[in-house]
Amino acid sequence: MRGLIFILTISICCCLSSIYAQNNAGEFALEIMKPKVGLNVGPYRGRTQQTDGLFNQGVAGFAQVYFPFQWVVDYRNNFSDSATIKNEYNNRLFLIRPSALFHFVDNGSYAMGIGLQFSFLITHQFYIEYQAATIYMEAPKTAAPDLRSGFNLHHFISVSKPISKQLSLSLGYTHISNAFLVSAKGSNQDIITIGGKCNF
Give per-residue pLDDT as tens, 89-100. Answer: 988 999 999 999
Residue 12 belongs to some domain of the structure: no
Residue 106 belongs to some domain of the structure: yes
Evaluate if residue 34 carries a pLDDT over 90. no
Residue 145 belongs to some domain of the structure: yes
Q: Specify whether the CB–CB gap between 24 and 75 falls below 8 A.
A: yes
Number of domains in the chain: 1
Enter the DSSP assignment of 50: T
Q: What's the N-to-C CA distance of the chain in angstroms?
A: 66
pLDDT tens readout for residues 57-73: 889 999 999 999 999 99
Write out the residue range of the structural domain in which residue 48 sits: 27-199
Residue 155 belongs to some domain of the structure: yes
Q: Taking the model in full, what pTM does it have?
A: 0.81
Residue 18 belongs to some domain of the structure: no
The stretch 73-90 carries a mean pLDDT of: 77
Residue 54 belongs to some domain of the structure: yes
Q: Specify the CATH number for the domain of residue 173.
A: 2.40.160.20
Residue 185 belongs to some domain of the structure: yes
Residue 160 belongs to some domain of the structure: yes
Tell me the pLDDT band of 8, cut-offs 50, 70 and 90: very low
